[in-house]
Amino acid sequence: MNEEYYRAEIFSLNREIRRLNRQIEADREKKLPDKMNPFNNPTDYPDFSGDYSDIMPELDAPDCTIPLEPSPVERRKIKRFYSVGGWCVLGQFILSNILMLVAITVLRIVIKSENSGVSGDVIVSYINSSSIFAGLNMLVFIISNIIFAFVGLKMADIPKTQLVRTRDFSFAKLLQYCLIASFLWTVSVLVSVGIEDIFSHYGYSIDVMDMDGVAVTGTGFAVMTIYQCVIAPITEEIFFRGMLLRVFSRANQRFAVFASAFFFGLGHHNIPQFVLAFITGCFLAHITLKHNSVIPAIIVHMFTNTIPSVVSYVEENFGMNGTIFAECTILAMAIAGFFMLCLFRKNQKIPSATPAQSRRGIAVAKNSVLLVSAFVVQFVYTLFIL
């Protein structure tokens, strides 16, 4: 064999080495799936839902794609998150009712033992009118909301710190959100009045929010106001937007927005507050997705709950002039809120669902016994009260 033969052989080997190196580089550059947005949905907020490879480990492989229909294993893992949400809704409902029933029963027994000649109706009236009922109500829902919010986060392996890692939030946006909330509150009131008129036409009443005789003492009013305007927004947002929205968002954020808002509305157990809670709940869920935190929703929720308290105070203490001023102020804020909502919706829309995500939303959730049970229990209880 001559020298030219060896040179040709070496040249051929070098060319093959270069080809193999190019192939290796190409393999390295193969696009890996985005595990934070595996459905390639441009309307989703990918940081919120978490790493989808926890549900579908195949995403760690290059060029892996999400099938249109979930596999039995993927379906089972998604359903587990829906079941966690359903279990926590059920647990919160059961615990809050048991705690309240036990506390009221014990109080009645204690008061009766100290005042044997007092009737049961008088004792109940005293409990309701004083700060006792307001304080118990606040304590019960602090306990039940916080316990099951953290239980749900633990079961879903979601770090609690994710609830408050706020991004891209400013005072200007907070002002915009509060104006939008005032518009949604006004719309909700008008819708509720319309529904009540329809029911009253047929001899039914849906106004179960009779607060006459409840927390009428100075201390009772103060405790109830603190609960409604401060404590309830914090604990409810931690439960519904902090835990429930995140648990439901694993595969379909659009489903999570409406499902969490629906349970938020049902949790109030009356039609007027359901309307308000559902409408504002969708908006609060949206800004929670956008800012990846419950902090904006908590502040806006506080503002929304404060509106009726301020209006009632002004009307009661400043007569007709106060009523006119309050109504004009609310109307002006609602008009401004309408334009702010149009501006917000122009740039920010509730996430839509891809075909693959649609098959991982209600199509899977309806097979979760715990989630369906939570809906049935809340719905039947609301009908019972009505």
What pLDDT is stored for residue 210 in this prediction? Answer: 53
Domain membership of residue 111 (yes or no) is yes
Q: Kindly state whether residue 16 falls inside one of the protein's structural domains.
A: no
Task: Evaluate if residue 221 carries a pLDDT over 90.
Answer: no
Contact between 295 and 169 under an 8 Å Cβ cutoff? The reply is yes
Percent of the chain with pLDDT over 70: 90
pLDDT, average across residues 238-242: 96
Q: What mean pLDDT is predicted for residues 372-382?
A: 93
pLDDT of residue 211: 56
Does any domain span residue 22? Answer: no
> Cα(185)–Cα(180) distance, rounded to whole angstroms?
9
Look over the chain and give the mean of its residue pLDDT values, rounded to a whole number: 87
- In the chain the beta strands, taken as DSSP E runs, fall at none
Average pLDDT over residues 182-201: 87
pLDDT for 179 equals 96
Give long-range contacts, CB 8 A cutoff, 24+ apart: 377-386: 377/90, 377/93, 378/89, 378/93, 378/263, 378/266, 378/267, 378/269, 379/266, 381/93, 381/269, 382/266, 382/269, 382/270, 382/274, 385/208, 385/269, 385/270, 386/206, 386/208, 386/270, 386/271
Residue closest to 207 by CA, chosen among 368, 385, 42: 385
Question: Which uninterrupted H or E stretch holds 316?
Answer: helix 295-347
Decide: 66 and 356 in contact? Cβ < 8 Å: yes
Query: How far is residue 100 from each of residues 107, 141, 153, measured CA to CA in Å?
Result: 11, 9, 25
* Least confidently predicted of 118-122, 226-230, 252-256: 118-122
What is the pLDDT, as a whole number, of residue 114?
A: 77
Q: Is residue 17 part of a domain?
A: no
Q: What does the pLDDT average to over 138-148?
A: 94
Do residues 247 and 154 touch, judged by C-beta distance below 8 A?
no
Average pLDDT estimate for 191-202: 81
Cα–chain-centroid distance for residue 128? 30
pLDDT for the residue numbered 315 = 79
pLDDT for position 383: 84
- 1-5, 319-323, 353-357, 375-379, range with the lowest pLDDT: 1-5
Spatial distance between the Cα atoms of 294 and 89, rounded to a whole number of angstroms: 18
Per-residue pLDDT band at 225 (split at 50, 70, 90):
confident
Span 336-340, average pLDDT: 96
Does the residue 219 lie in any domain?
Answer: yes
> Taking residues 201-211, what's their average pLDDT?
64
The Cα–Cα gap between 307 and 184 comes to: 12
Domain that holds residue 73: 52-57+59-385
Q: Using CA atoms, how far apart are residues 290 and 14, in angstroms rounded to an integer?
A: 53
What's residue 352's pLDDT?
94
pLDDT at 193 over 80: yes
Structural domain contains residue 8: no
pLDDT score recorded for residue 257: 97
The predicted-structure confidence for 6-29, as pLDDT tens digits, reads as follows 666 666 777 777 777 776 665 554
Average pLDDT of the segment spanning 168-178: 95
Pairwise CA distance, residues 27 & 304, whole Å: 54
Write phi, then psi, for 302 (nearest 5 degrees).
Answer: -60, -45
- DSSP assignment of 162-192, as one string? GGG---S--HHHHHHHHHHHHHHHHHHHHHH
pLDDT the model gives residue 15: 74
Distance CA 240, CA 31 (A): 36
Torsion of CA 292, 302, 175, 278, to 10 degrees: 70
CB 237 within 8 A of CB 230: no
Question: What tokens does 111 get?
Answer: 């008061």
Q: Which long-range contacts (CB under 8 A, 24 or more apart) does 42-47 make?
A: 43/349, 43/351, 43/352, 44/253, 44/351, 45/253, 45/289, 45/290, 45/292, 45/351, 47/292
207 has pLDDT over 90: no
In 3D space, the residue among 308, 337, 304 whose CA is nearest the CA of residue 237 turns out to be: 304
- Can you tell me the mean pLDDT for 375-385? 90
pLDDT at 181 over 60: yes
Whether residue 71 lies inside any domain: the answer is yes
**CA–CA separation, 52 and 23 (whole Å):** 29
The neighbour count for residue 47, using CB atoms within 10 Å, is 13
Chain segment 23-46, per-residue pLDDT in tens: 666 555 456 678 888 898 999 998
Overall number of domains in the chain: 1
Question: Per the domain annotation, does 28 fall within a domain?
Answer: no
Dihedral of the alpha carbons of 326, 332, 336, 337, in degrees to the nearest 10: 30
Lowest mean pLDDT among 187-201, 258-272, 284-298: 187-201
User: Average pLDDT of 141-164?
Assistant: 94
